[in-house]
C-alpha cells in the first residue's frame, strides 16, 4: 500500500460509519487506481489537490444527510448543480439562497412576494456571472467558509430545537445571521426578518 493510499484511508474515517462500511473500500480502491495512473510527481500532486477539494464537502454532505430534511438536502444538491453550471470556484451562501427559493416554493411564498423572489434570483445570477470562470475541473464545487458555517449553524439549531432534521427554514434563518453576505443583505432588503418571519 502506498503512502498516498494510507493517507487517503485516514481521510475516509471522516465519513459516517455506515457510509464507510458500504463505500469505503471501493473508494480506497478507486483512489489506488488514480494513484497508479498518476505517472509523475506533478500529476500525483495535482491528484491530491483535487482529492482534497473533493473530500470535505462530500464527507460533510454524507453526515448532513442524517440531519437534513428532504428540501434541505435537495437545496444543497441544486446549489451544487447551479454553481457547477456557472463554473463557480466555490459554493456560496448566495447559491444556497437561490436553491432554497427554487426548491421550497411554499417557504419562498411565505417570506417574499413574487417580485422580490425574482429580484433576488436576478441579483444572484448577475453575481454568479460576474464571478464565473472559464472552466472547472471538479463536479463538486468546494464549499466556501460562509456556506459551511450556514449549513453547520442550521444543523445545530435544528438539534437544539429537538428536531431530527434541519430544513430550508433553518437555512434561511442561518443565512440571515451570516451578515456581510449578499444573500443576507438581499433577504433583509426585501423585508425578511428572522424573528418575525422565522419565529426565532
Interface residue list for another protein (CB under 8 A): 19, 22-23, 26-27, 29-31, 33-34, 50-51, 53-55, 57-59, 61-62, 74, 77, 80-81, 84-85, 135-140
Report the nearest approach of another protein to the CB of residue 34 (Å). Answer: 7
Q: Which three cell numbers stand for residue 104?
A: 421550497
Please identify, using beta-carbon distances, which residue of 33 and 114 lies nearer to another protein: 33
- Give the closest residue to 107 by CA, choosing from 174, 192, 180: 192
- Residue whose entry in the numeric block shows the C-alpha cell 444543523: 155
Report the nearest approach of another protein to the CB of residue 192 (Å). Answer: 26
Report the nearest approach of another protein to the CB of residue 48 (Å). Answer: 11
Report the nearest approach of another protein to the CB of residue 29 (Å). Answer: 6
DSSP secondary structure letter of residue 24: H
Please identify, using beta-carbon distances, which residue of 125 and 198 lies nearer to another protein: 125
The DSSP string of 72-112 is HHHHHHHHHHHHHHTT-SSB-HHHHHHHHHHH-HHHHHHHS
Please identify, using beta-carbon distances, which residue of 138 and 161 lies nearer to another protein: 138
How many CB atoms lie under 10 A from the CB of residue 173?
22
Asked whether the beta carbons of 179 and 147 are under 8 A apart, the reply is: no
Report the nearest approach of another protein to the CB of residue 105 (Å). Answer: 14
Alpha carbon 66 to its chain's center: 15
Residue 43 CB contacts under 8 Å (≥ 6 apart), including other chains: none
Please identify, using beta-carbon distances, which residue of 31 and 171 lies nearer to another protein: 31
Please identify, using beta-carbon distances, which residue of 35 and 112 lies nearer to another protein: 35
DSSP secondary structure letter of residue 141: P
Amino acid at each position: 500500500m502506498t503512502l498516498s493510499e494510507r493517507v487517503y484511508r485516514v481521510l475516509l474515517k471522516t465519513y459516517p460509519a455506515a457510509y464507510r462500511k458500504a463505500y469505503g473500500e471501493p473508494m480506497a480502491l478507486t483512489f489506488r487506481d488514480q494513484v497508479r495512473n498518476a505517472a509523475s510527481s506533478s500529476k500525483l500532486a495535482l491528484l491530491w489537490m483535487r482529492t482534497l477539494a473533493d473530500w470535505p464537502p462530500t464527507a460533510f454532505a454524507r453526515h448532513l444527510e442524517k440531519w437534513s430534511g428532504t428540501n434541505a438536502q435537495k437545496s444543497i444538491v441544486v446549489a451544487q448543480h447551479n454553481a457547477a453550471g456557472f463554473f463557480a470556484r466555490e459554493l456560496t451562501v448566495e447559491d444556497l439562497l437561490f436553491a432554497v427559493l427554487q426548491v421550497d416554493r411554499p417557504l419562498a411564498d411565505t417570506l417574499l412576494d413574487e417580485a422580490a423572489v425574482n429580484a433576488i434570483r436576478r441579483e444572484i445570477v448577475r453575481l454568479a456571472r460576474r464571478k464565473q470562470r472559464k472552466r472547472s475541473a471538479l463536479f463538486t464545487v468546494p464549499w466556501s467558509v460562509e456556506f459551511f458555517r450556514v449549513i453547520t449553524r442550521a444543523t445545530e439549531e435544528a438539534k437544539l430545537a429537538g428536531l431530527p432534521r434541519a430544513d430550508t427554514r433553518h437555512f434561511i434563518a442561518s443565512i440571515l445571521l451570516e451578515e456581510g453576505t449578499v444573500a443576507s443583505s438581499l433577504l433583509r432588503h426585501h423585508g425578511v426578518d428572522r424573528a418575525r418571519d422565522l419565529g426565532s
